[in-house]
Homo-oligomer: A and B are copies of this chain.
């Protein structure tokens, strides 16, 4: 590992909870020599990535990161971070992969990609994804602020025979999403379409959107679902990462344990990262 990486890694110890870290604490955290750590801190401070609290002499995040983040936000649209992941996801699952973004209380399609393998396939042409009826929507609601669930309740509407239309049923559904870590929509939005979705997160650890795979319902089976979930986990990790977010611990554990029980083969996304 290069010196540069070792130094930059110090920044990773700072968080919302741990706003400031002193020299001695950094030393303990990293296990590195004190003088070395000190020089790293000085270098980072010189670059503006860190700054020293003049009172406590501890180090906190510096102003330079604000400029860098602004450049990132204005030059790299969230769409870009999702698109090629979706391509791989669509390829790996041979289905329609799509990502959506939560803007206020509406879930808006951001990008999608369709495998060319099947002649019969799902196409996406909605301006908005209903939160209570789609896999993406359920994935979002399950990890969103309770206020958003309230909003979604008000907009409940029947789309198919399978659509969840009672508040109680919706809450049970959301609890099951939290239990298994996936949102599932078995023809609850469109007849003949089976969707599996997972939430995406932003830097504030809030839900920012979802990524999902929509299949033709007659083509789905248990084995296929397992494979799709596996790919979805990898895709969600990549997109969340590209958006500067982190997968919450609870969900992360859920995903980890499910992937061990799932087949460890044919994860094209994970392979492509190496």
Q: Do B16 and A74 touch across chains, with their CB atoms under 8 A apart?
A: yes
Nearest chain B CB to A196's CB is how many angstroms away? 25
Number of copies: 2
Q: Which residues from B are CB-within-8-Å of A4?
A: 3-4, 7-8, 40, 43-44, 47
A contacts with B, residue count (CB < 8 A) = 52
- Whether A168 is near chain B, meaning CB under 8 Å from some CB there, is no
A54 / chain B contacts, CB cutoff of 8 Å: 84
Cα(A65)–Cα(B68), bound, Å: 6
In the complex, per-residue mask of A8-40: 1 if CB is within 8 Å of any chain B CB, else 0: 110100111001100000000000000000011
Whether A120 sits at the interface, judged by CB under 8 Å, is: no
Give A49-85 interface residues, CB cut-off 8 Å to B.
49, 51, 54, 60-76, 81, 84
Please name the 7 residue pairs, one residue from A and one from B, whose CB atoms are nearest each other, closest first.
Answer: A66-B244, A69-B69, A19-B75, A70-B203, A61-B72, A4-B43, A65-B68
